Every structure is written in C-alpha cells, then in structure tokens.
Structure 1
Amino acid sequence: MGMLHLVRHGQASFGAADYDQLSPLGHQQCQRLGAFWRARGQRFDAVFSGTLKRHAQSLAALAEGWGGALPAVSLRPGLDEYDSAALIRAIHPEPLAAPRDAEGVKHHFRLLRQGLQAWMRGETAPQGMPSHAQFLAGVAGVLDEVRALGGGEVLVLSSGGPISCALAQVLQAPAESAIELNLRLRNSALSELVFNAQRLSLHSFNGLPHLQDEPALQSYA
C-alpha cells in the first residue's frame, strides 16, 4: 500500500493582475507544511506537480521548511488549474472590476460556480481551455501513474480544480460535486489517498495539520 499526499498550493495573488504568484502568506503556509513533515520524518518516493509558477514556488517553500531538496519533480500539465477568468468570460463577457471587498469576492465566486457548471455541461467552450472531458482525462492520467507505482509515499502539488476532480473520481461522485469540493479546499491543504496498483481510496480531506492552531494563517482564495 502507498499514500498519495495531495497538496493545494499556498495562497496566490487573488485580485492582482497576475494571480499566478505565491503571496507572502502562501510562502509561509507551505514552509510550515514542510517543517511539519520534517518534524515527523516524512519522506517521499516520488513528486508530481503542475507547471504553474505558484506550484513551483509552493514546492520551493515546502523544501525550505523541510530542510532539504525534494526528489526530482515530474511536471504534469494535467495538474494545472483551469482558467477562472476564461470560465467567467464565457458566461459574462462584459468587463468586471477586480474584487476589492467581501461583496466583490462573493460575486466573483458566484460567477465562477456558474462558469464551472456551464463548462462541465458542455454549454460553453472557454477560450484557451480544454473541454471538461479533456481536463478530467489529464487528472485521471496522473492518478493512473501514481497507481502504477504500486506503493510508496507520493506527493502531488496542484490546484483546487485538479485536486477536487481527482477526489470526485476516486469517490465516484457526480462531476459537479467537484465544484463543492473545490470551493472548500484551503490553501496548502492536505488531502490523502491510500493506493495500490488496483485502486485509490480516500483517507483524509482538506486538512491543515501544520496550521490548525493558527487561524490567521488559514485562507481559501
């Protein structure tokens, strides 16, 4: 048996011109996770990651907290996030101001939920994005690679979209249930799957063992 550790990246730069940058808080979140693992003697036999900047920056912060280099990272585009701006434009082509307050953030996520639903149902084709079926296939391909390892300790660093889709696939849940999982995932959160060559099973979801006593360091967006 093996354990697959699914980690969402640390807080990025929500509302900024370039979201794909780890914030100082995001760096601290991932550094804390690395230190948590170091204290428990955690080791990894394989590491997979998406190709986005916030993925690489999160892994670097993890390694910093862990106090050493991680195993060679296998980059997989199937672990890259969907384009939330493209999803929203597909259902709301009019220009939108960047969210600056609580109501603006709520409006953004209402539109994102609607955009995800439309994409999943095949009602929209957001510019520059794969179909939802192709997105799911990319996630499933990485899960197949992990299962083929047969065992060991495996780290996957990704984003909320791919992680929630992976969990929905493992749970054999309806595709749209991934939206609810996605919107609950916290930054640097850890979800775990037990696996062997035949199957993967859910062990834990959305944990923050490295931040459990520090609510000020916990975030979602």
Structure 2
Amino acid sequence: MPEIFVVRHGQASFGSDNYDQLSELGWQQARWLGEHWAEDGLQFDHIVSGDLQRHRETAQGICEGLGLASHSVEELPQLNEFDFKQVMSAYREKNPQAAPSANAERADYYRFLKKAMHAWSAGEISAAESWQQFEQRIEEIVGVLAAGARGGKTLVVSSGGAIAMMVRQVLGAPSSSVTQLNMQIKNTAVSHFFAGRSGVSLHSFNHLPHLDNRERRQFITYS
C-alpha cells in the first residue's frame, strides 16, 4: 500500500531577520531523522517539499542523513505554510489590544497566533489567501500525493499548519482542530499516512523516532 511520510521542517530561526532559514539545531534535527531512517533501512521512491527555504533545507538535511545528498527533491508550492504573518497582522489591526509586546515571551506570541487562526477560519479577518482557499489547496495536494505514490513510499516536507490541515481533512475533524493540531506539531516530527483505494488514512501523528529518547529529548522544539 502506498505510504506518505509527512515531516514538519526543522527548527527555524525564530526572532531573527529571516525566520525561514533553519537554525543550526534545525539542520541537526533533519540530519538525525535521515540517519535514523538510514539505520532502519527505509528508502523513499519520491521526495517532495514546499518551496520555502526551511522546507528545502530540511529536505536537504534529511537526504544528507540518508546518504542521498544529491537526491532530486520535487518542490510543490501547494505544500507551503499559510502566511501566518499576514493572518496575525490582520488580527492585530482588528484587535490591537491583544497584540503581544515586542519583548513578549514566545508563549504569548503563540497564544496570539492561535486567536488569529481562529478568527481567520471563522471569517472574522481576511488575508490574501482565504481559509477556504487554504483548505482547497491542501485537499488538492493530498490527492496529488496519494495518486503519485503508486505503491511506493513518498517523503514530504511541509509546515505545521499545512500538516494540521491534512490531518483534519483525513480524519474529517472540525475546522477548529487545525489550530489545536498546529500548536502541537514538533520540528521534524513525522505524520504517517496510507493511501488506498478508499482514500487516505492516518497511521501515526507527530512522531519523533529520532529525538524521543533520553539523550536527545532536550532537542525537541516547536518553532
């Protein structure tokens, strides 16, 4: 049966001028995942990613860990994250009193993002990409991935919001679950899907086989 392994990108550069690039730890997380799969003898028939820098770099790091530094990675922009900065900006304009200060804790930032996502999904604020358009492109790319798997194993690198939407759609969960799932997905966590004749099913979610141990648990991150 075709299998799809969807990985959230490694730790990005939160708080820097360019969030989109991986941190040093983000690179290491990606390599560790590739090394873990190499040790298990797991091989992929297709490797695809979004076209954001953090997606490209995560795919590169995984390939290095797998010993596939020169492997071709197909870039599909449909796998990109929604524009969370734009969503937050729209929510800030409508609710300036709720915006975190410049020196706020990271937790305050994520609480604000959670509120902004709920408002976006409810149609209370608008962005260049509507919630409905976001839903549609993720539904379409899941169909493309399932059709293209052709009995093999496909590795996908994407972002937390896009992965959360995939899970919601596969499970038939309410729209509100996307925000909750998004906040849980860890960097380089793996969500494993099967694609059969009856559709796509979820086998496991947010799994960290390369980090969830005593030696590496300290390197688990969420941003």
TM-score (norm 1): 0.92
Measured after TM superposition, the shift of residue 99 of structure 1 is 5.0
Amino acid at match of 1:92: R
Instruction: Determine the structure 2 residue equivalent to 1:147.
Output: 146
Q: How do residues 128-139 of structure 1 correspond to structure 2 at under 5 angstroms?
A: 129-139=128-138
**Structure 2: how far apart are the matches of 1:197 and 1:70?**
33
Q: 1:167 to 1:91 in 2, by over 3 A?
A: same
Q: Contact 1:44–1:154 (CA<8 Å) still a contact in 2?
A: yes
**Structure 1: how far apart are the matches of 2:142 and 2:70?**
20
**Structure 1: how far apart are the matches of 2:19 and 2:217?**
23
- The answer to which of 131-140 and 161-170 deviates more is 131-140
Instruction: Determine the structure 2 residue equivalent to 1:218.
Output: 220
**Structure 2: how far apart are the matches of 1:21 and 1:27?**
10
Q: Contact 1:7–1:188 (CA<8 Å) still a contact in 2?
A: yes
Structure 1 residues not aligned, in runs of 5+: none
Q: Contact 1:15–1:98 (CA<8 Å) still a contact in 2?
A: no
Amino acid at match of 2:119: A
Tell me the percent identity. Answer: 38
Q: Contact 1:77–1:138 (CA<8 Å) still a contact in 2?
A: no
Q: How do residues 1-221 of structure 1 correspond to structure 2 at under 5 angstroms?
A: 1-69=1-69, 71-93=71-93, 94=96, 97-99=101-103, 104-126=105-127, 129-149=128-148, 150-213=150-213, 214-221=216-223
Amino acid at match of 1:118: A
Q: Contact 1:11–1:23 (CA<8 Å) still a contact in 2?
A: yes
Measured after TM superposition, the shift of residue 140 of structure 1 is 1.1
Q: Contact 1:15–1:99 (CA<8 Å) still a contact in 2?
A: no
- The answer to which of 67-76 and 132-141 deviates more is 67-76
TM-score (norm 2): 0.91
Q: 1:38 to 1:98 in 2, by over 3 A?
A: farther
Q: 1:113 to 1:180 in 2, by over 3 A?
A: same
